[in-house]
Amino acid sequence: MRSLLSYILLSLALLFGTAAWGQSDRWDRALDSYQTICDRCILLREQSLRGEEISPEELRSLLEQVSSLRTSLQKGSGSMSKAQKERFKRIRDRYTEAFSKQGYTTDGPVLKVAKPAMDLPRVESGNKILHSASGSAQNDNRSLSRHLDKQSSQPEKPKDLSPGLTILGAWSPKSLSYGAMATITGRRLGAYIKGRSNFEGQITASYSCLSDGTSGGAPIWTTGKESHTEWSLGAGGIIRLSNAFSLYAGSGYGHSETLWEDAAGKWAKVDDYSAKGICADAGIIFSKNHFQASIGISTITFKKPAFELGLGIWF
């Protein structure tokens, strides 16, 4: 009987010793996770204060975990060892102090996290620990949630506008003209203004004729001398398709006139070679490393087409 009682007492001692060791080991693992999560929260807050982009989802998840673990550890602190209680207090105080600061500072020890992007563990003790946060953990969660909501509600800053200047050359039948196009482009949309001319002085015509050499049904005699005057002004919009390519289209006013000199020294305006009125243009702009090129087509009253090429820079 005494032998049986001794055996039972020995078994109970081993059982309680194993349970106590397992309990202590469980709290050590919980404290390791708590410290890892707190360190990650502190690091993300410092990045946010420096103006760096962080993931709101990651921060909200970490805040939930740190609140859950803190509540669980507080409830189970009675079964911790003295060293574990002191460690828990050090981690909690460091976290609370870091989140009570109003701005980023470089004073104090540098926070080092071995794996900033690691998947942080969720700790459970028997039942799922943590149904709600309490005490200072709730206050921390609410203040940072307000900070994240304010950050996410702020409108995205528009990308800086990029100005550009392109020198144009245009070819139309029997005429070359030159000019420039100024552009300003944002993230998706932009605008331009352009002008070009062949810089020839305009001659006053005495009468009109057609390209078949007749005027009013009667033939005219020409000397072979010709005059071509051309200019146009326009403006329009730009749509950015990608970082490199954009489309532009617009309208304006243009003038194109062809004159022939007759045997009497008078000038005749060739009606079917001349146009004046609304002009339209469209084309593609290529931008790369502050280099800009364009190719397009322009027309005056849809009678006088001109093919345009441009080279320039953008800033």
Once rounded to an integer, what is the mean pLDDT over residues 155-183?
83
Q: If you average pLDDT over every residue of the chain, what do you get?
A: 77
Q: What residue ranges do the domains of the chain occupy?
A: 2-153, 162-314
Of the ranges 28-32, 51-55, 161-165, 297-301, which one carries the lowest mean pLDDT score?
51-55
Residue that wins the pLDDT comparison between 48 and 264: 264
User: For strand 175-185 and strand 189-197, is the pairing parallel, antiparallel, or unpaired?
Assistant: antiparallel
Once rounded to an integer, what is the mean pLDDT over residues 278-299?
94
State both tokens at 179.
């000019």
Query: Which residue intervals of 101-228 are DSSP H helices?
Result: 136-153
Considering only the C-alpha atoms of the chain, give the largest distance between any 2 of them, rounded to a whole number of Å.
149
CA angle in degrees (0–180, nearest 5) for 75-80-84: 110
pLDDT band at 238 (very low <50, low <70, confident <90, very high): very high
Residue that wins the pLDDT comparison between 304 and 56: 304
* Inter-residue contact 315 to 172 (CB < 8 Å): no
Of the ranges 32-36, 77-81, 128-132, 231-235, which one carries the lowest mean pLDDT score?
128-132
Once rounded to an integer, what is the mean pLDDT over residues 12-31?
56
Over the stretch 96-132, which tens digit does the pLDDT of each residue have? 887 776 544 444 444 443 344 444 444 444 333 333 3
User: For strand 222-240 and strand 175-185, is the pairing parallel, antiparallel, or unpaired?
Assistant: unpaired
Q: Is residue 234 predicted with pLDDT exceeding 80?
A: yes
pLDDT at residue 207, as a whole number: 96
pLDDT at residue 202, as a whole number: 83
Second-level CATH architecture of 162-314: Beta Barrel (2.40)
pLDDT at residue 250, as a whole number: 97
pLDDT band at 221 (very low <50, low <70, confident <90, very high): very high
CA angle in degrees (0–180, nearest 5) for 123-101-97: 45
